[in-house]
Amino acid sequence: MDDYTIGVLTNIGLISFIALSAYLLIIAGEMSFGQQGFFGVGAYVAGVATAMYGFPLPVAAAMAMGAGAAAAFLVGLPTLRLRGLYFAMATLAAAEMFRIVFELIHFQREIDGEPVGPDGTQGFRGIRWVFENGVEPAGYLAMVWGLLFVVMILFLLVERSKLGATLRMLGEDPELARMLGVHVERFKLGVVAAAGALAALGGALYAHHNTYIEPRNFDIMLGVHALAYALIGGLGTAFGPLLGVLVDIGVLEGSRFFQGYRMIVFGGLVAVLLVFRPRGLLDEKVVHWLRARFISA
Amino acid sequence: MSALLEIRDLVTAYGKIEALKGVSLEVQQGSITCLLGPNGAGKTTLMMTIAGILRPRSGSIRFAGNQFAGHPPHAIVAGGAALVPENRLVFPNMTVLDNLQAGAYQRRDGEVDVDIEKLFQRFPRLKERSNQNAGTLSGGEQQMLAVARALMSRPKLLLMDEPSLGLAPLVVEEIFRIIAQLHQDGVSIFLVEQNAHMALKVAQHFYLMEQGRVSFSGTPGALAEDEVIRRAYLGSAKV
Amino acid sequence: MIFDLIQNTFDGLAMGASYALLAVGFTLIFGVLRRVNLSYGPSIMFGAYCATWVHLNFQAGLLALALVTIAGAALAGAYVERLCFAPHTQGSAIAAMVASFALWMQFEEVVTLVMPKHLYDFPPMFEGEPLAFGPLGMRVEALVMLACALAICFALHRLLYRSRFGLAVRAVIDAPVAAQLAGINVPRILGLVFLLASSIGGLAGWLIVSTHTQITPMLGMWSTLKGLLAMMIGGLGSLPGAVIGGLALGILEAHGQWFLGPQARDLIVYLLLFVLLAWRPRWMTTQSAS
C-alpha cells in the first residue's frame, strides 16, 4: 500500500470513532451537535500526556477516554431532560465552549529546548509519540483499525443483548422504557458518557496521527459530519456509521475522481438518498432482512 | 334516495398492518348514517382515509360521482366533504373567530361573514367567546366549534368522528340535538359513534365495523333485533 | 464608562437587528415545519455570492444587488425545501436536518468553484461618516439595519394577522392536521413560508455583507449559528421571541467584546445558551421541539 492509501484508510478509521459515538446517541433517541467537543478533549488530553509528560500512547488514550467520559457526564447531567433540538443545541453550546477554551489555553513546557504544548489559536504541535517510538504508518493503521475492531465487537455484542434492546427502546419510546422499570435518566447519562469516551478515543488517535491539532479542527463541521455519516450509513447496525464514513472519505475523496466536485456530489447523493431511505442505507429493515437471510439460515 | 358516498373494497395500512381490510359501505343523500364498532376496529382510520389524511392502499371512494381515493385533504374539502375529527382538533392558540375563518379557507364568496353570523345564532356560546382562544373553551364548546368550523366550508357531507367522546351527558344530548337539526337543514351526515343509544335516535342506517371489516349493515330496527349487537352495544337496556 | 455602555448597547442593537432578522426566518421555518434548516445560512451566503458575482461582472446599483441577494437566497431556499423538507414532512426530523446539511456542503463548494478567492469585497451600503450624537457615534448602516428589522417585523405581523395567507400559516403552526381538514393546502403553505423565510434571510444577508463590505464562505455557517442562537435564546418558535433573542444576543456580544475580547464574548454567549437550555425558564418552554 502506498502512503496515500494508508493515510485515507487511517482517516476512515479515526473518523469512524466519532461517527459511532453520534450513532450511539441517535439510537438512544438523542441527536448531538457536540461530539466534536469530546473528540477535541480526547485529542488535547492525549497530546498533553504523551508530548509533555512522556506517557506512552496506550496510557494517554485511556486518560483521554476518561476525560471524554467525564466531560460528557458533566455536559449530560444538566441536559438530561432535554429532547430534540434543545438537546442538540445544548451539546453544540458545550462543544463550542470546549473549542473556545482550547483557544484560550496557553500551557507549554520546555522540552529539548523547545516549547511544547497547546498554544491557543496557534494550535498544538509536536505530538510525535508515534514517530519517536518507531511506529510505521502501516503499523499505526493496524492500531487504529485494531481498536476500531474491538469497539465494533463491543457494539455488536451490546446490540444482541438485553442492553441493546433497552437502548433502542429508549430511543423509540422513553415512556415505555420508564414504565418497564428502566432508570431512563441514569441510563441516558451512561450512554452519553460512553459516547463521550468513544469520541475522545478517536480524538486521541487523531492527534497522534496528525501530530498537530488546532481548536478549529473541532468545530461544528466535524460534529455534523459525524451525525451525517451515522445517518447515511444507516441506523440499523453499528456497521452503518462505518459505511457512511467509507462512502464519503473512502470512495469520494479517496478516488480523487471527483476532485473539486466532491462536496457537490456527496451533498446531492446524501439528500437524494435520505428521500428514499430516511434512516440510512443499512436501516433496521435491511439489517433484519440480512440477518434472517445470512445468519440464521 | 341515491348514494352520496360510496366506498368499495377500501384497504388502508400502516406499514404491513392493514387497519382497513376491504371496507364497503354507502351513505345516502340526505341521511344520517352511523358507524358503530369497538375501539381499534378501524373507524377513525376510515374517517381519516375519506378525509384524505391517510392514503388508501386500494379500493375506491366515490363522492357525488367523483373519485376521492388518494386525493389530498384540501381537494376533499373542495369536493364537499368536511370531517369533524376525533378529539375535536380545534386550533387552540387561535381565536374562535379565526377558527371559523380557517374553516372557510377555500371559500371566495362574500358570504363568509353571513355564515359566521348564522352559526353564532345556532351556537350562541361561541359568539360570547368569539375573541377567546379556542384552547380556553370547555370540551363541549370545542366540539361545537369543531362542528361549526366544518360547516363553514358548506359541506354536502359532514363526517363526524365520535362527537360525544369525553363529554358530559347533558352536552352529548345537545350535540345530538344539533346533529338532528343539521339533518333537517339538509346536510348528509356520516357519524362514527360509540354511544349507540343516542345514535339510534337520529340515524337511519347503521354499519358495524370489527377488525377492519364491515360486519353488519341495516336499519335501526334490524340493529336492535340483532342479539349479539344488542348485548355488545346496547347493554341490557330495552330499545 | 457610562458612554462605553451606551455606545456598546447602540452597536449591539445594530448587530442584534441583523440577528433578529436571521432568527425570524429561522423561526418561520421551524414554526411551520418543526424542523431545523441547517442550510438556512448557506442559502443566504449563496444569495450574497450571486450579488457579488453580479457586482464583479456588471454595473449594478445597491438596490439591484439587494434584490439579487434576496432572489438568490430564495432560489437556494426553494431548492433546499424541495430536496430536504418536502419529502420528509411525515418522516424523521433528523433526516431532513442532515439532508439540509448535505446541501450546505454543496453551496459552499459551488461558490468556491465559481469564485475561488477566500475573500471578496462587497459594495458598501453607505460611504460617509457615522452620525455623531455628542460623544456617541452611530453608523448609518446600523440605523438602516434597525429600520429594516422593524419594518419586516411590522409587515410580518400584518401578513400573519390580516391576510388569508397569514391565517393559513397560523393554522398550520397551531395544528397541522386540523389545517388540512379545514381545506388548507398545507404543502403549498410550507413551500411559501420557506420562500418567505429565505427571502427575509436574503435581505438580512445583504444588510450584513454591505455593512461589513466583504464576504467569505464562512457567512453560511455564521448565519446559521447566529440565527439558531438568537432563536433559541428567544424561546424557539415565537416571532417576538426571535426579535428579542436577536437584539439580546447582539447587545450581549457587543458588551462582551468590548470588556472581555472576542473569545470570551463567544464563551459567554454559549455559556448563556447552555444555562438557559439546562434551566429552561418558562418563556423557553412555550413550544415543544422534539
- pLDDT tens by residue, C1-52: 788 888 888 889 988 999 999 999 999 999 888 888 999 999 999 999 999 9
Q: Which helix (H) or strand (E) holds C150?
A: helix C140-162
**Rounded to a whole number, what is the distance in Å from the CA of B209 to chain C's nearest CA?**
24
Is B239 a residue whose pLDDT tops 60? no
**Which of A146-155, A204-213, A226-235 is predicted with the least confidence, judged by mean pLDDT?**
A226-235
Return d(Cα C198, Cα C201) in angstroms, integer. 5
How many helices and strands (H and E) does chain A possess?
14, 2
pLDDT at C248: 93
Task: Give the strand pairing for B188-192 and B32-36.
Answer: parallel
Q: Where are the alpha helices (DSSP H) in B123-226?
A: 124-128, 139-151, 169-184, 196-202, 220-225
**Which of A156-160, A224-228, A265-269, C248-252 is predicted with the least confidence, judged by mean pLDDT?**
A265-269
Per-position b or e across A189-208, b if 16+ CB within 10 A of its CB: bbbbbbbbbbbbbbbbbbbb
Residue pair A155/A162 in contact (Cβ under 8 Å)? The answer is: no
Return d(Cα C88, Cα C65) in angstroms, integer. 33
Strand ranges for C174-236 from DSSP E: 214-215
In A, which residues are within 8 Å of C280 by CB distance?
81-82, 86
pLDDT at A287: 85
Residue C76: burial class (beta carbons within 10 Å; 0-12, 13-18, 19+)? buried
pLDDT at B149: 96
Is C132 a residue whose pLDDT tops 70? yes
Q: Is B177 on the interface with C (CB under 8 A)?
A: no
Q: Look up residue B58 and give its three cell numbers.
A: 386500494
ipTM comes to 0.91
Q: Look up residue A4 and give its three cell numbers.
A: 496515500
pLDDT at B227: 78
Of all residues in chain B, what percent carry a pLDDT higher than 90?
Answer: 70
Return d(Cα B220, Cα B225) in angstroms, integer. 9
Q: Inter-chain contact B94–C182, Cβ cutoff 8 Å? A: no
Return d(Cα B50, Cα A145) in angstroms, integer. 56
Return the closest-CA partner of residue A268 out of A254, A248, A286: A248
Q: Inter-chain contact C174–B93, Cβ cutoff 8 Å? A: yes
**Which of A49-53, A254-258, B106-110, C109-113 is predicted with the least confidence, judged by mean pLDDT?**
A254-258
Mean pLDDT of C124-134: 83
Q: Is B79 on the interface with C (CB under 8 A)?
A: no
Task: List pLDDT tens digits, range B60-103.
Answer: 999 988 899 989 999 999 999 999 999 889 999 999 999 999 99
pLDDT at B107: 93
Residue pair A262/C108 in contact (Cβ under 8 Å)? The answer is: no
Is C289 a residue whose pLDDT tops 70? no
Q: Is C240 on the interface with B (CB under 8 A)?
A: no
**Residue in C36, C98, C109 nearest the CB of A228:** C98
Residue pair C12/C18 in contact (Cβ under 8 Å)? The answer is: no
Of all residues in chain A, what percent carry a pLDDT higher than 90?
Answer: 54
Return the closest-CA partner of residue A240 out of A277, A204, A265: A277
* Length, in residues, of chain B: 239
In C, which residues are within 8 Å of B94 by CB distance?
170-171, 174
- Name the residue with higher pLDDT: B225 or C52: C52
pLDDT at C206: 95
Q: Across all residues in chain C, what is the average pLDDT?
A: 89
* Best mutation target, C270, C273, C283, to test chain A (most A CBs within 10 A): C270
The 3-class SS string of A148-171 reads: HHHHHHHHHHHHCCHHHHHHHHHH
pLDDT at B52: 95
Q: Inter-chain contact C105–A263, Cβ cutoff 8 Å? A: yes
Mean pLDDT of A214-231: 91
Is C287 a residue whose pLDDT tops 50? no
Task: List pLDDT tens digits, range C223-275.
Answer: 999 999 999 888 887 888 899 999 999 999 999 888 888 888 889 889 988 99
Residue in chain A lying closest to C97 (CA): A228
Taking a contact as any Cβ pair under 8 Å apart, which residues of chain C between 182 and 221 contact chain B? 182-187
- Name the residue with higher pLDDT: B166 or B227: B166
pLDDT at C14: 87
Q: Is B157 on the interface with C (CB under 8 A)?
A: no
Q: Look up residue B217 and give its three cell numbers.
A: 349493515
Q: Inter-chain contact C98–A232, Cβ cutoff 8 Å? A: yes
Is B6 a residue whose pLDDT tops 60? yes
Residue pair C138/C131 in contact (Cβ under 8 Å)? The answer is: yes
pLDDT at B158: 96
Return the closest-CA partner of residue A55 out of A68, A42, A66, A46: A46
pLDDT at A45: 97
pLDDT at A255: 65
pLDDT band for position C284 (cuts 50, 70, 90): low
pLDDT at C265: 87
Mean pLDDT of B117-126: 93
Q: Look up residue C42 and give its three cell numbers.
A: 448557506
Give chain C's contact residues with A (Cβ, < 8 Å): 36, 38, 83-84, 87-88, 91-99, 101-106, 108-110, 113, 221, 225, 228, 232, 236, 263-264, 266-267, 270-271, 273-274, 277-278, 280, 289-290
* Beta-ladder partners of A33: none
3-state secondary structure of B71: coil
Amino acid at A115: P
Is A63 a residue whose pLDDT tops 70? yes
DSSP-assigned letters across all residues of B19-40: EEEEEEEEEETT-EEEEE--TT
Q: Inter-chain contact C267–A101, Cβ cutoff 8 Å? A: yes
